[in-house]
Structure 1
Amino acid sequence: MENHSLLSFIVALLGFLSPSLTKLTPRISFHLGSSGRHLTHFSSHDVSNTTMLLLSQDGDMLYVGARDAVLALDVSHKDAIILRSKLDWSPSDKDLEQCSMKGKRMADCPNFIRVLHFLNNSYIYACGTFAFSPRCTYINSETLEMSIKPDEGRGRCPYDPYQRNTAIIVDGELYTGTVADYRGNRPVISRHLGRRVDLKLDDTLGWLEDPTFISSSFIAEQEKIYFFFSEVGKEYDFIDKFIVSRVSQVCMSDIGGQRTLQRRWTTFAKAQLLCQADNELPYNVIQDIDSLPPAEGAPADDTLFYGIFTSQWSVNSGRSAVCSFRLSDIKTVFSGNYKVLNRDTLQWSTRVQEKVANPGECGLHNASDNALRFVKENFLADESVRSVGKSLSMVSTEHNYTHLTVQRVQAANNRGYTVLFLLTESGYLHKTVLLQSGAHIIEEIQVFERPQPIKSLKLSIPKSVIYVGTSEGVVRVPTANCSFYWTCAQCVLARDPFCGWDPVHRACVEASDTQTNLGQDIDGGHVEGICNSVSVIHRARFGPNKLPAGELVSVSLNEVVRLQCPAVSRLSLQLWERPNSRLSSDLYLNLEDGSLSFVATPATLGHYLCLSTENGYQQIMAIYHVKQRNNAMAQTPISYIQPQTQPIPTTQIAASPGLHTYVRTFSKRPGARQGETEPTLSSRDTQVTTRQMGRNMTLWTEKSRQNETDFQNGESLLLARGPCYLKELVVVSILLGLCFSFLMTTCLYIIKQRCRSRTAPQPGTPTRDPDRRTPVEQEALRGSQFLSNCNGQAPHSGQASGLVCNRILAGYKGHLPNTPI
């Protein structure tokens, strides 16, 4: 109980000391089916659970392990994934019946492929659950046919399709981490298929404690296989079921001991992976891990392992952290001291004792029995493997990451950047670059809509694509999407190591070794120095009597106006400005979506500009001119061109001090030849063409200079001579208050008189007057007459009714027909 109380205090203290986390927001979001992100899908009505992915060396063929089948998909075409061949491998009716008799659901009894690896250049080795009776076989990679009859797969493949496992083939030998019994109570790390003797872990000491296997990796320089998993940490006796993440190793040259540890690993050792930041609780449950080879010319010790971790602590609930571990640190921990296991109590201690042998060292199969007994009892490293820099690479408080793959990308400045592709539980793929200032999520792509219980990622660096295997099919996602960024500013602000701005072709292109003059700023994302453009200067873009053209919005006084401002990215901030005027919070309302709402009055008529600010760079997104509607314009409403679906090249928006900005664009006439454009004219010879660029960017056209001069002079005259209704508004408000007080007093007096007349004795029977009305009916009649006055009928009380009608119109909340939504 004392230990439990101490742990609770520590958890509460560390939770209090944990620093606030910065919210990581993807810059661009692409929903499923979005035209801005091209994805290629493969699915078939008779194929499901396509989650085991194996890519050929040239990247043109993708082998998929599914339910009751193995598929060969041709992925050499850019816009299609073609099914070349299919191997049906399903249990018989008798096998399914036996599976059902074991108490298993029929939905779990098919053959789910869980091991799929190249054995050599000609054959694939595959294993499946096969109705809770694992089977393995050899498959010809060309014809996709079985070469021999399937044999037993116990110890190589799990029984349960939902049981996680890992497998890797090196030099024709299969190294696996899985369970070796039907109930899943015997976890094993074993070697099969080789010319050397098959090996597994010793069963007597509990070398593994209810593990969940995640991944395995081969390090050629060391001739070692590393396994990553999570298990119950028995060395922590202050709490039950405390989960820890582990890395373990075995040597490929191990053949077991001669008398002690016969047919057992003599080189097995394990250590804790500690993903923890200062003054925070550790993220102790590993979800996925991937290796990043060292840079060209760097030693193998610089190999990094990036993993996703979650926490069993309620303080960190709902968070996902990414940590990296260096191979040199793992080697240092394994070459250090080891904990001692008491055989009788199965308790670990850290007492210092004489080292008879070095656990985890290769070549111990020739050691003495005394040395082998020492490594049999001392296989848990005393120290933990800390993450690089003893910090987190990134942490998300909003997304639960389940899978990841990592790639090193060389940018135009010849610097290498680490890019993570993280798959969320909700079905989004996050493309993230790790910077010194922190993680930056370049974009998120929705790859599936409904939750998928089992998923997998496969990265093809030569083809620059990622394959996502789900329960419903396979999705191919290009790693780069440079053509989406249509201006130099957007290309630089993306901070994507894959993309750079080509000043010659004026396009955002994929970075390569041959292009060194591309515009990039991955670390800072500063536009001015790269694009040779000047940011919009606050309050200095309008000269005297020079107002830019924009979309004409005709309104009536006292109507509610809402002006839309398209967002460039989710990291941009939308701001509104007026020439030579301040947007008071008493008159204007800035909405959450970036739009501006206000009531049309003589003081709020005029020009409005929407500015997008991101990373210190400003650009104009929309220009509006709000003008009072006259009778002629009311009869002839301004027409608008519907948004186009095909992208049209545009001019980058930039402004310099003392100049006002014009943005020119034309809509393409239906049936016109390529390159032929036709301007669209509205009423009064004013161009108000609008179009949607497909990237949430709206651009507005320029008027003719003669119309612009007349329009500006009229607008200046309207602003200079416009009447002020402040005094009239005060008088009307006072009159309305007096009228309302008088009306309420009269009603109360009439009701009081009626109550007295009912209780007083009457001299005779009253006669019924068909025209008599009760005070309530009289009041309702007055209300009907009042509404008639508002609809254009003659008022009964002079100007009073007209003032009230205007007050009602001032509260009108309807949308305007010419207001962008």
Structure 2
Amino acid sequence: MLGVLLAFVLILIVVPGAPRGVAQSFPRDLVPRSTVGLAATATYPRFGGLRGDNVTTQLGLDFQRMLRLNGTLFVAARDHIYAFDLGQDKRVLYPERHLTWETRDRESCAMRGKLQDGCHNYIRVLVPRDARTLFAAETTPSTPVCRSYEARSLLQEGEEVSGQARCPFDTRQSNVALFADGSLYSATVADFQASDAVIYRSLGARSPPLRTLKYSSRWLQEPHFVQALPYGPYIYFFFREIAVELGALGKVAVARVARVCRNDRGGSPRVLERRWTSFLKARLQCTVPGDAVFYFDVLEAVTLPHALHGRPAVLALFGTQPNSIPGSAVCAFYLADVGAGVRGHFAEPRGAAGAWPPCPRSGCPGPGLAAVLGWAQPLPLSPPETSLTRRWPSPRSTPLLHGAVAPLGGRPLFTRTGTRLTQLAVDVGAGPRGNHTVLFLGAEDGRVLKVLAATRSPGDVQNAGDTAAPGDTGEPGAEVLLLEEISLYEPRWCRGPRGASRVLGLELHPPGQELFVAFAGCLVRLPLSRCAQHGACRRSCLAARDPYCVWLPPGGCVPFSEDLPAGFEQMWRDPPAHRDLPRCTSYRGR
């Protein structure tokens, strides 16, 4: 009922040219096949700070970032970077080593009247510079600072560099970063007031520093950056921002994907000097089709690329507008479709009504220097001004493309109403044959949802017709299932500020069959399955439909591993289709 109400109460923002489907009801929330309570998860290993650390005891861990590299999980927090050996005993969660990076002027900071938690270093950037070096940046009480560390020893290498435009000034400000071709690509804010949003390239020996246009709402309007990743000759940035083209409706957040060319060398002294000439952006669309298209617009998380149907794709988590009824959805996007979406006709404001129709080729500026010369071609050291002024005749020119990037299958893989989901991790190779996709979704109330998500290509949708179940691949029992709803957050075990139950990070480690779940105050080591809850009940084990569990006579229900002997079973259809299975008194785990 709530799902139907959600579809009608929320404001529907219609994008011109958006696909419309036949009349159909809003997807109902799935019922979890198993609910795992705090009593069952109380024994899972947790880390809330170093033993004897009084500051952590008072303020909590203050988690910021996670990174898995070379068999080690690195966790950035307040004043520390922790390194966890992923091969350690799974009953333990304690760092093998750590580094401490405290501010040098904590006393003077406190004397200036700052609150205690404002006089610490919060490590907001943690990315691999290469296979052996970590690049970190932190928000000091004054100006952000960057350092490089040797990954194995956590010893500092080289000198500190300025963190401006590479790291935010405040932990509440968003940022993403990555190294590509020896350069750091960062997206954050470049000033303390958070008024100068920037996508910036720096630290490259062969590529000049470039950035987006300053204080231009056409380029970036109050963005919240979510993910950055390389693909082909481009760097893609995923974020949400206030839509300048929907200004007549108020402050409406929309999901965006932006792209820059790796070989962009900037403009001329008169046009876009030290600015991107290849910066383009488009709307990222996650909708429930119907007569009235329902939009999930608030981008929360984006995965790194994975292979879906043999093609590189990303999965993204979306939410509803902040002042609306809570709801979330997961959509998948082929990267080829994302690249195609950041092309085509530009959107330009026309008339007094605030409309942004597509600009015809004959009356619109060109698509930018990289497009003029060919996206894969190297750009000249001195770009011709004619090609720049054709695309950027004035600062009012917009890099926004008309239309939107549609998701794989034309609709979400999974929807949830009544709560806001915050984080997403995906395993596209689950099960004995590695042919199942499992989503792990963190929620703001401290739960983790485990979803068996069957993905399909757009061609499958057309062949199956409009009546096919969302995500159905045509295989028996390939519908989307909510396998588990797992409660993890308990204030007594995980200290933190107000809202500390929100899941801030998920890091999947398939070789160890575990998921690391981060809250503001602690880190939890969560096994991917709870097969033992089915005990010696074959029916319960097989009907659970968990790709991580198999029935192994006479050992019972056990997690799948490559070294299991032959003869195990898995089932992908529910009883009573398999009437040969004896009934058990314990059918569903608690």
Answering whether residue 312 of structure 2 is matched by residue 307 of structure 1, we say no
User: In structure 1, what is the Cα distance between the partners aligned to 2:198 and 2:120?
Assistant: 24
Once the two structures are TM-superposed, the CA of residue 257 in structure 1 deviates from its matched residue by: 2.5
Partner residue, 1:249: 259
Q: Equivalences for 1:723-742 in 2 at 5 Å?
A: none
Structure-2 change in CA distance of 1:469 and 1:153 (3 Å): same
User: In structure 1, what is the Cα distance between the partners aligned to 2:11 and 2:140?
Assistant: 47
User: In structure 2, what is the Cα distance between the partners aligned to 1:158 and 1:83?
Assistant: 27
Q: Which amino acid aligns with 2:449?
A: H
Q: Which amino acid aligns with 2:278?
A: T
CA contact (8 A) 2:197 2:215 kept: no
Q: Which amino acid aligns with 2:387?
A: A
Q: Equivalences for 1:70-469 in 2 at 5 Å?
A: 70-77=81-88, 78-93=90-105, 97-98=108-109, 101=112, 105-195=115-205, 196-203=207-214, 205-206=216-217, 207-219=219-231, 222-259=232-269, 260-278=271-289, 279-294=292-307, 298=310, 302-312=311-321, 317-340=325-348, 348-354=356-362, 357-359=366-368, 361=371, 362=375, 363=377, 365-366=379-380, 367-376=383-392, 377-412=397-432, 414=433, 416-435=435-454, 436=472, 438-450=479-491, 451-452=499-500, 455-469=504-518
Equivalent in 31, 34, 39 of residue 28 of structure 1: 34
Query: In the TM superposition, what whole-angstrom CA distance separates every residue of 1:258-295 from its partner, at most 9, and x where no partner exists?
Result: 44322211211100011111234311111112134115
CA contact (8 A) 1:27 1:443 kept: yes
Q: Which has the higher helix share?
A: 1
Equivalent in 522, 529, 543 of residue 493 of structure 1: 543
User: In structure 2, what is the Cα distance between the partners aligned to 1:237 and 1:161?
Assistant: 28
Once the two structures are TM-superposed, the CA of residue 11 in structure 1 deviates from its matched residue by: 4.8
Once the two structures are TM-superposed, the CA of residue 528 in structure 1 deviates from its matched residue by: 5.5
CA contact (8 A) 2:237 2:258 kept: yes
Partner residue, 2:528: 479
Q: Which has the higher strand share?
A: 2
Once the two structures are TM-superposed, the CA of residue 238 in structure 1 deviates from its matched residue by: 2.5
| TM norm structure 1 | 0.58
Once the two structures are TM-superposed, the CA of residue 149 in structure 1 deviates from its matched residue by: 4.1
User: In structure 1, what is the Cα distance between the partners aligned to 2:9 and 2:481?
Assistant: 35
Q: For residue 331 of structure 2, give the secondary structure of its aligned residue in structure 1.
A: strand
User: In structure 1, what is the Cα distance between the partners aligned to 2:179 and 2:351?
Assistant: 34
CA contact (8 A) 1:51 1:470 kept: no
Partner residue, 1:525: 574
Partner residue, 2:3: none
Q: Equivalences for 1:494-513 in 2 at 5 Å?
A: 494-503=544-553, 505-510=555-560, 512=562
Mark the runs of 5 or more structure 2 residues left unpaired by the alignment.
Answer: 1-7, 15-19, 455-471, 473-477, 492-498
CA contact (8 A) 2:64 2:122 kept: no
Q: Which amino acid aligns with 2:429?
A: V
Q: For residue 291 of structure 1, give the secondary structure of its aligned residue in structure 2.
A: coil
CA contact (8 A) 2:245 2:349 kept: no
Structure-2 change in CA distance of 1:419 and 1:136 (3 Å): same
Query: In the TM superposition, what whole-angstrom CA distance separates every residue of 1:139-164 from its partner, at most 9, and x where no partner exists?
Result: 22222222234332000000011112
Q: Equivalences for 1:404-803 in 2 at 5 Å?
A: 404-412=424-432, 414=433, 416-435=435-454, 436=472, 438-450=479-491, 451-452=499-500, 455-486=504-535, 487-503=537-553, 505-510=555-560, 512=562, 518-522=568-572, 524-526=573-575, 529=578, 532-533=580-581, 568-569=587-588
Q: Which of structure 1's runs of 4+ aligned residues deviate more than 4 A?
A: 7-14, 98-101, 341-349, 503-506, 511-517
Query: In the TM superposition, what whole-angstrom CA distance separates every residue of 1:455-514 from its partner, at most 9, and x where no partner exists?
Result: 211112332221122222221112233333222211112111122223465544416498
Once the two structures are TM-superposed, the CA of residue 415 in structure 1 deviates from its matched residue by: 6.7
Structure-2 change in CA distance of 1:84 and 1:507 (3 Å): closer
Once the two structures are TM-superposed, the CA of residue 344 in structure 1 deviates from its matched residue by: 13
Q: Equivalences for 1:60-75 in 2 at 5 Å?
A: 61-75=72-86
Q: Which amino acid aligns with 1:419?
A: V
CA contact (8 A) 1:62 1:73 kept: yes
User: In structure 2, what is the Cα distance between the partners aligned to 1:107 and 1:9?
Assistant: 37
CA contact (8 A) 2:196 2:215 kept: no
Quick check: 265-274 or 389-398, which moved more? 389-398
Answering whether residue 74 of structure 2 is matched by residue 53 of structure 1, we say no
User: In structure 1, what is the Cα distance between the partners aligned to 2:534 and 2:83?
Assistant: 35
Q: Which amino acid aligns with 1:236?
A: L
| TM norm structure 2 | 0.80
Structure-2 change in CA distance of 1:375 and 1:356 (3 Å): closer
Q: For residue 317 of structure 1, give the secondary structure of its aligned residue in structure 2.
A: coil
Query: In the TM superposition, what whole-angstrom CA distance separates every residue of 1:529-555 from its partner, at most 9, and x where no partner exists?
Result: 3x832569xxxxxxxxxxxxxxxxxxx
Q: Which amino acid aligns with 2:263?
A: S
CA contact (8 A) 1:109 1:132 kept: no
Q: Which amino acid aligns with 2:226?
A: I
User: In structure 1, what is the Cα distance between the partners aligned to 2:197 and 2:149?
Assistant: 27
Mark the runs of 5 or more structure 1 residues left unpaired by the alignment.
Answer: 1-6, 537-565, 570-694, 697-821
Structure-2 change in CA distance of 1:142 and 1:313 (3 Å): closer
Q: Which has more radius of gyration?
A: 1
Partner residue, 1:42: 47
- Percent of aligned positions with the same letter in both sequences? 26
Once the two structures are TM-superposed, the CA of residue 211 in structure 1 deviates from its matched residue by: 0.6
Length, aligned pairs only? 519
Q: Which amino acid aligns with 1:312?
A: Q
User: In structure 1, what is the Cα distance between the partners aligned to 2:312 and 2:360?
Assistant: 31
Once the two structures are TM-superposed, the CA of residue 426 in structure 1 deviates from its matched residue by: 0.9
Once the two structures are TM-superposed, the CA of residue 189 in structure 1 deviates from its matched residue by: 0.5
Once the two structures are TM-superposed, the CA of residue 438 in structure 1 deviates from its matched residue by: 4.5
- Name which structure has the greater RCO, CA cutoff 8 Å, separation 6+: 2
Structure-2 change in CA distance of 1:343 and 1:177 (3 Å): farther
Q: Which amino acid aligns with 2:442?
A: L
